[in-house]
């Protein structure tokens, strides 16, 4: 994991997602990183490609498959963690 991610909110999830993408594993974390790949790259992270196509839909479907009643709130919580990490990276890179 990139050491810059360790202290950041959501950094653990983003780091895991980057590692999973590098291995070609379609995990919740990898789908989340696929959603934010462009912004994460712009903030200076190396995000392996290719990212998963239609990651938003795939992430939601995966969450709904685990528990359809909580999929929407879990999806939104994951997106908030991603955005927090992206913002923190952008602040750190200034």
Supply angle C-alpha 28, 62, 15, rounded to 5.
5
Let me know: does 40 contact 33? Beta carbons within 8 Å. yes
CB 92 within 8 A of CB 4: yes
Gap between the Cα atoms of 25 and 20, Å rounded: 5
- pLDDT one-digit tens code per residue, 4-38: 898 999 999 999 999 999 999 999 999 999 999 99
Q: What is the pLDDT at residue 92?
A: 82
Which is higher by pLDDT, 93 or 84? 84
pLDDT of amino acid 51: 85
Phi-psi region of 44 (alpha: psi -120 to 50; beta: other; left: phi over 0): left
Q: Each residue of 43-53: pLDDT tens digit? A: 999 999 888 99
For the segment 64-92, the average pLDDT, to the nearest whole number, is 96
């Amino acid at each position: 994991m990139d050491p810059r991610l360790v202290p950041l909110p959501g950094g653990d999830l983003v780091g895991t997602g980057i590692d999973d993408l590098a291995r070609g594993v379609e995990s919740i974390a990898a789908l989340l990183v696929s959603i934010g790949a462009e912004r994460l790259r712009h903030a200076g992270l190396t995000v392996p490609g290719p990212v998963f196509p239609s990651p938003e839909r795939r992430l939601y479907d995966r969450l709904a498959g685990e528990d359809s009643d909580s999929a929407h709130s879990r999806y939104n919580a994951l997106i908030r963690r991603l955005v927090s990490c992206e913002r923190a990276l952008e602040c750190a890179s200034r």
